[in-house]
């Protein structure tokens, strides 16, 4: 008997946004991210019979999604390998220098910000994955999905006081985890 019971009808509401965020921080394409999340759930349904219940639903779905993302990287790389041609957005008769284009990009502070945010996002996702399942789900629902306290309490059958204790503990664990995963790498 599996220790964790799968509840596919609740997957989209419980994990949809989290998986979407996880994907979009690695593949910068909203439509593709949506497809991969959808494919992950369908693959999960297909392999549900093989689910041992040793990991949580979330961890199991993320492992499926990770494989989908890797497959996507492979596909993209094989396409790139065939024809890697980067075109300038300036026409040949326009005054523009490729070096200037590059330099302008590099000087733009938002590029660095984006990289930092992506790295932080990835580190945070890694830290969320280390949280106990219940903490992770409730933290994500309240912080990322911004669901109502009442809704979350009903879903998990807990009181608002319990919810805030869980969120507080989750945040403390995440801050500690991020300090080692992210801040110290700077």
By the criterion CB under 8 A, which residues form the site for another protein? 8-9, 11-13, 16-17, 20-21, 24, 30, 33-34, 37-38, 41-42, 45-46, 117, 120-121, 124, 142-145, 149, 164-165, 167-168, 171, 174-175, 178
Cα atoms found within 13 Å of the Cα of residue 3, Cβ hemisphere only: 4
Closest approach, Cβ 24 to another protein, in A, equals 5
Q: Give first-to-last CA distance, the chain, whole Å.
A: 45
The least CB distance from residue 165 to another protein, in Å, is: 6
Which is nearer to another protein, 59 or 114 (by Cβ)?
Answer: 114
Q: Which residues contact 130 (CB under 8 A, 6 or more apart)?
A: 173, 177
- The C-alpha atoms of residue 93 and residue 102 are separated, in whole angstroms, by 19
The nearest distance, CB 164 to another protein, in angstroms, is 5
Residue 4: CB minimum distance to another protein, A = 18
- For another protein, the closer of residues 97 and 113 by Cβ is 113
* Structure token digits, residue 110: 């938002």
In the numeric block, which tokens belong to residue 126? 């890694």
Tokens matching residue 107:
């000087």
Per the listing, tokens 């992506």 go with 118
Strand spans (E) along 93-146: none
CB of 38 to another protein, least distance (A): 5
Give the HSE-up count for residue 55: Cα atoms under 13 Å, Cβ half-sphere: 14
Query: 145 or 155: whose CB is closer to another protein?
Result: 145
Q: Residue 129: which of 115, 139, 114, 119 has the closest Cα?
A: 139
Can you tell me which residue has the tokens 């938002």? 110
Nearer to another protein (CB atom), residue 33 or residue 62: 33
CB nearer to another protein: pick between 79 and 168: 168
The residue (of 74 and 171) whose beta carbon lies closer to another protein is 171
Question: Minimum Å distance from CB 105 to another protein?
Answer: 20
DSSP 9: G
């Amino acid at each position: 008997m599996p220790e964790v019971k799968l509840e596919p009808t609740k997957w989209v509401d419980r994990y949809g946004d989290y998986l979407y965020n996880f994907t979009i921080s690695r593949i910068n394409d909203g439509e593709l991210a949506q497809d991969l999340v959808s494919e992950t759930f369908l693959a999960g349904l297909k392999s549900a019979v093989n689910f041992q219940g040793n990991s949580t639903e979330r961890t199991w779905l993320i492992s499926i999604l990770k494989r989908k993302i890797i497959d996507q990287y492979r596909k993209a790389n094989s396409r790139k390998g065939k024809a890697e041609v980067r075109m300038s957005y300036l026409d040949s008769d326009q005054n523009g220098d490729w070096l200037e284009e590059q330099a302008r990009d590099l000087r733009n502070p938002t590029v660095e910000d984006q990289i930092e945010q992506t790295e932080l996002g990835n580190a945070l996702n890694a830290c969320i994955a280390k949280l106990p399942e219940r903490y992770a789900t409730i933290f994500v629902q309240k912080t990322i999905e911004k669901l109502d306290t009442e809704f979350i309490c009903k879903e998990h059958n807990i009181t608002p006081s319990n919810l805030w204790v869980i969120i507080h503990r989750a945040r403390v664990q995440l801050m500690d985890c991020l300090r080692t995963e992210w801040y110290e790498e700077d």
